[in-house]
Structure 1
Amino acid sequence: MTIGSINLDHQVCVDILPRRGETVISRSLNQGVGGKGANQAVAAARAGARSALIGFIGDDAQSRGILERLQVLGVDVSGVIAVAGVPSGSALVVREVSGENFIVVNSGANAAGDLPLSELENAIVRAEVVVVQGELPPEVTGLVIDTAGRLGTRVVVNLAPVTSIGGAIRWADPLVVNEVEAAQLLDTVETDGVELAKQLRERVRSVVVTLGARGAVYTEGADVLHVPAPRVDDIVDTTGAGDATVGVLAAHLARGESLGRAVEHAVRAGSASVRFAGAAEGYPSFAEVVL
């Protein structure tokens, strides 16, 4: 089960990302389901998991359309809460033809909803794994993590973007961050993924540090192990690659696989995702990924 953000992405493709103050003409404009929570829930479903999503949307026709698209993608959205008088979250994704991008997010309903504790407990206790990110308010994210820890449900914490969740971070199993996010959490200039994972291991139950095209490292007891990523020459879009990694990781953990084996699947999925445009609605079947 994923608890997190739900957005409508507006994606434009340009030849070169604009510089400060520069105007460029786009090649195309597309809309699609986005938000880290939605992306990760879809990725888990595309990996063959039974995937449910809890989050917040607006109460207008466009928001209902987002839910319909998520259902088509195999996600149970019965736990999504409509917030009156607030639009759904949205994101502007500017993608360069090389695959690089930048993203600006308007939180909308993601920052305005409330999760009743009793309903949250009922949902968490039925889940094999709970996945959270950093796009909901930190007090909501912290409550989810603490509740999962108290109820004995494994929680995957993708702290992206980095936000302060206090002592709740101790329940992360694993904490999933990239090298930049790991350095921010540790307030350090260290850039080596292995060293960052070693330091973060003192705070949480297990750690995965993603390394982009170099794969990922993860902790196993006192060791930090590396999983290389397959080479991808036909990169189309890097949007949502990290979310594909997290969603597939959670799907394999929910099946009872080891963290190392789950990371292997996740790294391959993240690499496969960059060969397709868009995030959730562009993901291939991760149950069939061969690179």
Structure 2
Amino acid sequence: MSKREFPAVTVVGSINLDIIATADRLPAAGETIGGGSLHQQSGGKGANQAVAAARLGGSSRMIGAVGDDAQGRLLLEAMASAGVDTADVAVVDDATGTALIVVDREGENQIVVCPGANENFSLDAVEFGANETVLCQLEVGLPVVLEAARRSSGYFVLNAAPAMDLPAELLERCDLVIVNETEYALIPALAQAKLVAVTYGKDGAAMFEHGTMVAEAPASAVTVANTVGAGDAFCAALVLALRHGLDYPRALAVANAVGADAVGDPSSQPDLAQLRHYLERTEAAADSAR
């Protein structure tokens, strides 16, 4: 499948090294538990989404920052090897962003993000095309996200995570906002947004226009290995599907299928099939349900 089948996506966001401890269960406040295993991998919501877009068959560009250190070089190499254009990733005099993650045997997690270089870059030298699709999250400074919204004249998407109050200017600029059900409840202003996609885990996903549900799609059954990165894969898939011209129910179904594959993979940047595979899979499922 040619990458030209799908529009280019430019991701403005975080690039982190994920340090992951896996244990039977998550610790309670003040509790120490043993028996865990430790590993590290590439992560950051921005990088996860850029890599997912590339692996799904889109043309993906990453805008963000890493530190001038071994971790930063490792993350740049990982993105480039996945097919992401990293020419606009700044290398700054700060530590590369790091996420400390604890994952239990059910795939649930607790995460603390140390932003480092993610808080130390600007868009001064970055150009956005007139019809460019831009995808942002909130793991970088809000001023950078606002600047991206102001400078982008194409389709602008915000994954409003982690949840925070959103300036009216930013919300009005968004063609699409993507959140999970917790974030949707924590950001009341989203009830007035023009278009919001909300994920509900095992209960699927829905699309809202100005607070009114206009489409929904069920989740796919899956064995959970790791929920870290699954929402990011969903975001990339939904943006590509919508920009490819799919209607809301079909786009949600495709994104749910991608998210299901991501949940079943232990990596924050899981291997994914080309988006055409998920289009065909969801179409076959719809035909069999008729």
TM-score, normalization by structure 2 = 0.86
- Verify the 8 A CA contact 1:36 1:135 in the aligned structure 2: yes
SS of the aligned residue for 1:55 comes to strand
- The answer for the alignment partner of 2:285 in structure 1 is none
Q: Does 1:88 align with 2:102?
A: no
1:136 to 133, 140, 152: 140
Deviation at 1:127, TM superposition (A): 5.5
- The answer for the alignment partner of 1:145 in structure 2 is 149
Structure 2 residue ranges without an equivalent (≥5): 1-9, 283-290
Structure 1 residue ranges without an equivalent (≥5): 187-198
Q: Does 1:114 align with 2:138?
A: no
Q: Does 1:285 align with 2:285?
A: no
Alignment RMSD: 1.9
- The answer for the alignment partner of 1:100 in structure 2 is 108
Aligned residue pair count: 268
**Matched residues in 2 for 1:52 and 1:259: separation?**
25
- The answer for the alignment partner of 2:163 in structure 1 is 162
Q: Does 1:6 align with 2:35?
A: no
SS of the aligned residue for 1:140 comes to helix
Give 1:139-218 correspondences, 5 Å limit: 139-148=143-152, 151=153, 153-166=154-167, 167-186=169-188, 200-202=190-192, 204-218=193-207
**Matched residues in 2 for 1:26 and 1:160: separation?**
31
**Matched residues in 1 for 2:201 and 2:238: separation?**
15
Partner amino acid, structure 1, of 2:116? G
- Verify the 8 A CA contact 1:171 1:205 in the aligned structure 2: no
- Verify the 8 A CA contact 2:215 2:248 in the aligned structure 1: no
**Matched residues in 2 for 1:158 and 1:37: separation?**
10
2:242 to 253, 275, 286: 253
**Matched residues in 2 for 1:177 and 1:242: separation?**
9
Using the aligned pairs only, state the percent identity.
Answer: 37
Q: Does 1:74 align with 2:83?
A: yes
